[in-house]
Structure 1
Amino acid sequence: MKADAFDIRNQPAYGLAEAARYVRLPGATLRTWLIGRDYPKGEAKATFHPLIKPAHRDPLQLSFYNLVEAHVLRALRTEHGVALKELRTAIAYAERKHQIHRLLLSRHLRTHAGQVFLDRYVELINLSASGQLAMRKMFEDHLARVEWDDWKFPVRLYPYVGAAARPAERPIAIDPQIAFGRPIVQRAGVSTIAIADRLDAGESVDAIAEDYDLSREEVEQAVLYTRAA
């Protein structure tokens, strides 16, 4: 699987801070995944090499595909953290074994390729049985929030609205073909920031819901996502 460099989904569209908000990651974590970082090792320095190749490096900008890659990696941020060296090794192993380019974008993550990747990763980090179960469940939930097209490329991402959101809930979407790739209420295609701005301007939830043919809950979820992001 190789993404088209001219595909809108592969073009720079999001700054680091914006992307980090959308996928619910600390900016420093996402930056490390994108450009790596140096760290002390004894009296010398070592380097964490990046896990994701950003759409544009200077200035640092992410594509929609980069958002999906970060979203998938986020599933591995359990209590044990993300072991970058081992994670990179596991990704490379699964890509070689299944001849997949950019595994983190691949629909095959939901099948055998994803199993091979996770098996290799947990072997490298020596994760407990309970830790493995929690991580695999989180990974499965994250993958369920990515929609792929017939060519097995991601076309839509359904980010988490809040920490208490149930896995089946997908009210908010990020679609590079709608609203310049900014978050929308997926049922109506309305920008979440537009809804939040109208509420901040003094309009009522009921009035906004009526204008956009949304439920009160959808308006509230749009505001929650926008202000928590």
Structure 2
Amino acid sequence: MAIDRFTTPLYGIAEAAGYLAIPASTFTSWAFGYRRRQRDGRAIRAEPVITATRAERPNEASVPFIGLAEGYALAAFRQAGVPLQRIRPAIDALQRELGLEHALASRRLFTDGAEVLYDYAEHVGDDSARELVVVRNNQRVFTEIVQNYLRRVHFAHDGYAEVITLPQYRVAEVTIDARHAFGRPRFARGGAKIEDAIDLFRAGEPVDVVAEEYGLTRDEIEDVLRVATRTAA
């Protein structure tokens, strides 16, 4: 099956949220927007900000790789301490100024995004967008937290994300690449799917045996098991 990373649904909402280490409710609001009624009776509506389709059944795949990449950028902003509802207008400005349909998943977010957000913040007096950008050596760059996220994205020749290194692992390097294993997380070293290693451990094999089976270290396997246990909880 040929996978189009812009359109082929690969991940369920909860699954995608788990990969990015964010609540499923947060990813849902990013993917489908929300409508909430305030105490004074006024309704607040927010539009979707990442690429996804409505699934017909629970846990059915609805998010393509590019939607996961867009969510990854938003997770970086969230990790920097800025709630999405406060920076939605800045994201709109980012998409508009970069002139790209999937600006959050583009190389230009990394190269030009900080400049765009800084100019937007100065123009409208938006402190939320300004919190994502610092001035260093007379250049406007993303804060270190955001930079650390964006450095883990590899971009294809078309300028859009192709490989993502997941943020929640401390020892193992775990990547997602739509070209391999239907976009399931894999160890960067050796290429084994992390779910295969986890399944082998759950089948009763000791950690050292699992590590030897996949040519990895004990620390790498324990790191993956730590994240899997936390996600399941």
Return the TM-score normalized by structure 1.
0.82
* Partner in structure 1 of residue 83 of structure 2: 82
Cα distance between partner residues in 2 of 1:9 and 1:100: 13
Cα distance between partner residues in 1 of 2:117 and 2:23: 24
CA displacement at 1:79 relative to structure 2: 7.0
Cα distance between partner residues in 2 of 1:118 and 1:227: 39
CA displacement at 1:223 relative to structure 2: 1.9
Percent sequence identity is: 27
Do 1:171 and 1:221's aligned partners in 2 also have CA atoms closer than 8 Å? no
Residue by residue over 1:56-103, the C-alpha shift from the partner in whole angstroms, topping out at 9 and shown as x without a partner, is 21337111111111110011114754242x533222323332322211
Cα distance between partner residues in 2 of 1:87 and 1:158: 24
The answer to whether 1:137 aligns with 2:144 is: yes
* Partner in structure 1 of residue 177 of structure 2: 175
Question: What letter corresponds to residue 168 of structure 2 in structure 1?
Answer: V
Once the two structures are overlaid, the 10-residue window that deviates more, 147-156 or 57-66, is 57-66
Equivalent residue pairs, number: 217
Do 2:19 and 2:166's aligned partners in 1 also have CA atoms closer than 8 Å? yes
Cα distance between partner residues in 2 of 1:154 and 1:192: 21
* Partner in structure 2 of residue 38 of structure 1: 35
Cα distance between partner residues in 2 of 1:63 and 1:176: 9
* Partner in structure 2 of residue 48 of structure 1: 46
* Partner in structure 2 of residue 3 of structure 1: none
| Counterpart mapping for 1:137-216 below 5 A | 137-162=144-169, 165=170, 171-216=173-218
Residue by residue over 1:115-149, the C-alpha shift from the partner in whole angstroms, topping out at 9 and shown as x without a partner, is 3135535865425987755x722111110111111
* Partner in structure 2 of residue 21 of structure 1: 18
The answer to whether 1:112 aligns with 2:112 is: yes
Any idea what SS the aligned residue of 1:150 has? coil
Cα distance between partner residues in 1 of 2:22 and 2:222: 22
Do 1:68 and 1:154's aligned partners in 2 also have CA atoms closer than 8 Å? yes
Residue by residue over 1:151-201, the C-alpha shift from the partner in whole angstroms, topping out at 9 and shown as x without a partner, is 212111111234xx3xxx661111112222111111111111111121122
Return the TM-score normalized by structure 2.
0.81
